[in-house]
Structure 1
């Protein structure tokens, strides 16, 4: 098995948990609802744990760019689908630029571990 697989699997778990935590933060209504608040705290803590595992192999700048970039995209998708947020063209272009930056970093940068 490729030694990068567990690192990127941990990074994927960190991203999913961060997006879930952010969604629960919205549902916590400024920490006034106990269960979403507890779920949010657990998801954020677990996200950082998995991110730290990924950092054993993936450089910090690369891992954080992927974590933040995909987190933004997935959080936006959740916001549109679940919370019925609408996006204007500037928001769509901005998100596309974030995705482009993550792709350029991963496909073209020599600082990324492949």
Structure 2
């Protein structure tokens, strides 16, 4: 079971890396980030598939989507200098509450 959680964490990190490369690719005009999008997403879905062998899909997907969204929002704020409005920060908090709620319901 621990291995499945490690696979899930790896899937999240690869998904976040792929999404970050989408931004860095500037609409597929930069070759290295453009290629890395496909590499990272391929690895993401591979590890996510491994994680689903033992984890419930509702739990795994909510953690994957929720933590991925939170990490991308944080990267956007810190690295890409996106706004950190009150509503954005409260929404991130609600995502965290939702992920905890789904995990608590199993």
TM-score class, shorter-chain normalisation, is over 0.9
Q: 1:58, 1:42 → 2: CA distance? A: 24
Q: Residue 57 of structure 1 is aligned with which of 54, 58, 83?
A: 54
Aligned to 1:56, what secondary structure does the other structure show?
Answer: coil
Aligned residues: 106
The unaligned stretches of length 5 or more in structure 1 are none
Question: What per-residue deviation string (whole Å, max 9, x for no partner) do you get for residues 18-77 of structure 1?
Answer: 001000000001111110000111001100000000000011111110000000011111
Give the TM-score normalised by structure 2. Answer: 0.96
- Please name the residue that 1:109 is paired with: 105
**Over 3 Å off, 4+ runs:** none
1:98 correspondence with 2:95: yes
- Please name the residue that 2:22 is paired with: 25
Q: 2:76, 2:40 → 1: CA distance? A: 17
- Please name the residue that 2:41 is paired with: 44
Question: What is the RMSD computed on CA atoms of the aligned residues?
Answer: 0.8
Q: Residue 79 of structure 1 is aligned with which of 72, 76, 80?
A: 76
Quote how far apart the aligned CAs of 1:78 are.
1.0
The unaligned stretches of length 5 or more in structure 2 are none
Q: 1:20, 1:53 → 2: CA distance? A: 19
